Amino acid sequence: MVLQVKNLSKIYLGKINYTALERIEFNLKKGEFVGVMGPSGSGKTTLLNCVSTIDEPSTGEVLVNGKNPHKLGEEELSKFRRSELGFVFQDFNLVNTLTVKENIILPLVLDNIGLEIIEERLNKISKLLGIKEILNKRTFEISGGQAQRIAIARALIHNPSLLLADEPTGNLDTKAAKDVMKIFTAINEELNTSILMVTHDPYIASFCNRVIFIKDGNLYNEIHKGDNKSIFYKKIIDMLSFLGGNIDDI
């Protein structure tokens, strides 16, 4: 298993303690593409933050390739994040003073990887994502859809075991969002990269192999794609409707 989440709870302490997650358990196999959905405030992002080590679980364990990153020291944790995890967020978080190429290879430069390996990986990932022709452009010269491709390329350049995505299409129009999801599918199928993605959009979730639903901090249900994407999409919508709330806010 690439990811094992065991009995995970997260409680925020204050005047009134707030339980964001309660005894969450699931596994993610090598090469799986899993979506996380649920109503607003259900704990989706908290779960992703605990997996990504941004947040510390109150109880339970997160294991990535059998190792618990929350038990590592600061230096070891930084190294672990760079080697095992890739991050793609709604905001592209690109460095405006760098070119597209410099943004993508930044993680490898920081790790003092040799130029030959950098060029080899850059060539492979830019070809897969269809961005070779914009490598020398500045970030202000590219579209939102291209910017998200750059962010994905940067997240993948070091061959992470697990790619974590939080609303990766949230700032994109319909066409750009569809293009980005086709890229996620290609990454998943061609590179066999394991992906855990939080989304509120049932269409975006329909690109996954499996969708986990969270409600009030609890693991509520999960559904698998099977062979028919249209049926899977309808099941996702039905489940979101069943969970309640305005579907646009879910």
The CATH number assigned to the domain holding 189 equals: 3.40.50.300
Q: Render pLDDT for 88-121 as a digit per residue (tens, 0 to 9).
A: 988 888 999 999 999 999 989 988 899 999 999 9
| Averaged pLDDT for residues 135-148 | 93
Quote the pLDDT of residue 90: 83
Q: Which residues of 136-164 are buried (b: 16+ CB within 10 A; e: fewer)?
A: eeebeebeebbbbbbbbbbbbbbebebbb
Instruction: Check residue 196 and give its pLDDT.
Output: 98
Q: How high is the pLDDT of residue 68? A: 96
Which pLDDT does position 246 carry in this prediction?
A: 46
- Mean pLDDT of all residues in 183-192: 92
Higher pLDDT, 196 or 173: 196
Instruction: Mark residue 60 as left, alpha or beta (left: phi above 0; alpha: psi -120 to 50; beta: remaining).
Output: left
**Domain count within the chain:** 1
What is the overall mean pLDDT for the chain? 92
Provide mean pLDDT across the span 2-29.
95
> How many angstroms separate the CA atoms of 176 and 32, rounded?
23
Average pLDDT over residues 18-30: 96
Structural domain containing residue 225: 3-249
Mean pLDDT of 125-140: 93
